[in-house]
Amino acid sequence: MAQVLLVIGDATEQMDTLYPYFRIPEEGYTLHVAAPEARLIHMVAHQVPPGWDVTREFEGYKLPADIAFRDVREEDYLGLVISGGRAPEYLRYDEDLLRITRHFFATGKPVASICHGIEIVATADVIRGRRVTTVPKCKFDAEVCGATFVDAPVVVDGNLVCSRTWWDSAPWMREFLKLLNAARDAVAGS
């Protein structure tokens, strides 16, 4: 069975994480959760309360990570999903995660990024010249790293499928699964 890697860390947004966590296995893939360490990860919920200009964070569910970034053999995976929340703000400095991310772009394997996940692909320097979307407050991260920001629910550019927030999860996973299924079929046909 083809394997997909889901990248999270403490303060990962739970809706950004749980939608692909359940949706991808429904499609017949084995999903592994990767984090800085293989341990229980603390997720958060983000909402902009009425009258607020910024996101408010609430403690969310917890999810066990199966594997530490340093132990990932990226060639074993067909697809990569990068969750959002505050986690990418510190995960983007993890050299093993950057190695993993660069592998997926160098090989053209499907990558899904949502919300702050753009900070990881931006830091990996793999979005230069691409069209992307993200939560508007991360527009700068995308543009300063050479991407063109598009304010849309989902943007597909080559092997990259980006989305703004968990409100856009359905079109995000629909487009990612199209790429993932095509990649699986190509591997099965070779």
Q: Which of 181, 157, 188, 149 minimizes the C-alpha distance to 23?
A: 181
Distance CA 180, CA 177 (A): 5
Q: Is 42 a catalytic residue?
A: no
Q: Residue 89: enclosing H or E segment and its boundaries?
A: helix 88-91
Tokens 């947004």 map to which residue?
13
Distance CA 187, CA 179 (A): 12
Distance CA 136, CA 42 (A): 24
Task: Report the catalytic residues.
Answer: 116
